[in-house]
Amino acid sequence: MPKILSVNAGSSSLKFKLYAMPAETVIMSGLVDRIGHSDAVFTYDYQGTHYKKAQAVQNHTEAVQLVTDALLDSGAVRDKQEIVGIGHRVAHGGREYTQTTKITPVVQQKIADLATISPLHNPVNLLGIEAFEKLLPSASEVAVFDTSFHSTIPPKAYMYALPFEYYAKYGIRRYGFHGQSHQYIYSEVNRRYDQDFSRKIISCHLGNGASVCAIRDGKSVNTSMGFTPLAGLVMGTRSGDVDPNVLPFIAEKENFSADDIRQLLNHQSGLLGISGVSNDVRDVLQAEADGNDRAKLALQIYVHQIQSYIAAYTADLGGLQTLVFTAGVGEHSAPIRERVCAAFGYLGVKIDAEANRDNDLDISAADSRVKVLVIPTNEELVIARETEKVLDS
Ligand code: ADP
């Protein structure tokens, strides 16, 4: 069976999963964490055993060397040639890449050029691509863009009401992210349920980063992240939507540069910024239970913003059949799901308290008019599927 490696390279981490396709069997999965540090950690799971090694890892090439050595030494692959494809998660495909694309030098250059609008992610995604190119040259490399799934969003939802020239000159528009996750959610709803539940879906990806996506007939028609992954929902440390005039106001008052403002919006805002406690929903819930008023307020704003998007997207979809929660918070936090759903009695959303507490797949009450699901996301699998599709075409 052909083997496909799914790769997600971040600034200091590299996650991977090796699949046997088309069976979609996971052969090995792992993570090199704290790349660039002397106390980096390499963990992987193979044949039911968990391995962990701590050692210095200077850069992404060293991280990829560790991964390829582990794949060969463990026997997961006997020969490098067995890995026919490597699918890379790439954050931003801009206007150019509306589909998964085989990586060529031209594509690599375009991914590099798109760093002007995705400075935090595209350059590190490229580091992963370059390292695998060096160490597994026989495998075809494929870019699976976060933005591609959202290429079906219509102009009325992706344009900002700025002077048109900025769209023309710089491609300033909504792109959306977490595409692999929302695509997986659609594929799971479609696989498990009939058309009465799969034609109008709202997918809530609530992790460190968070976004909501409206999916009609398998296609994204709107999503809460925008030109960058900062827009939309309140996140761990990201602000989500704010009145744009607040930014020059703060910059003038505090004598902040554009970089200071970016730092404030991306790293000091969100749940952390409001609560002053943590970016982690678990900590903020605990603080709320301990009587911390700012933690309580942070959670109210967090939930309210999710509700606002669900309500708006119900209009985009002309109704709602299935509401899905996924990612760290969506998959594990019963109180957040319960609070979000509490606003939608008017739509006929009703959840079963026990099923919700147990993080069951289907948490809707028997008489709910909308199906409410908890589906663990699987972005790596979408990357492997997309890679296989491109290699077969
Ligand atoms: P990422 O967005 O980095 O991929 P995840 O989807 O894994 O992250 O989500 C991580 C977040 O999920 C954590 O920061 C934490 O806030 C949240 N989380 C994980 N488990 C729980 C839980 N049981 N209750 C509430 N939040 C949780």
Looking from the CA of 349 toward its CB, the CA atoms found within 13 Å total 26
* CB-based contact 330:209 (threshold 8 Å): no
What single-letter amino acid sits at 4?
I
pLDDT tens-digit readout, 247-289:
999 999 999 999 999 999 999 999 999 999 999 999 999 999 9
Q: Is the peptide bond before 22 cis (omega within 30 degrees of 0)?
A: yes
Distance of CA 162 to the CA centre of its chain: 27
pTM of the model: 0.96
Strand extents, DSSP E, the chain: 3-9, 13-20, 25-33, 37-46, 49-57, 83-90, 101-102, 140-145, 200-206, 210-216, 219-223, 322-326, 371-374
- Whose C-alpha lies nearest to ligand 1, atom 7? 328
pLDDT tens-digit readout, 211-245:
999 999 999 999 999 999 999 999 999 999 999 99
Six token digits for residue 170? 């710089």
Six token digits for residue 72? 């060969």
CA distance 284 to 182: 26
Strand 83-90 and strand 3-9: the pairing is: parallel
- Whose C-alpha lies nearest to ligand 1, atom 20? 328
Six token digits for residue 101? 């694309």
> Could you tell me which of 212, 103, 97, 227 has the C-alpha nearest to residue 162?
227
Ligand 1 atom at minimum distance from 281 CA: 16
Q: What angle do CA 171, 176, 177 make, to 5 degrees?
A: 125
Q: Which of 208, 279, 337, 380 to mutate to test the pocket of ligand 1 (most atoms within 8 A of CB)?
A: 208
CA distance 34 to 57: 8
Active-site residue flag, 259: no
pLDDT tens-digit readout, 106-161:
999 999 999 988 888 999 999 999 999 999 999 999 999 999 999 999 999 999 99
Residues with CB under 6 A from ligand 1: 207-209, 236, 280-282, 327-329, 332-333
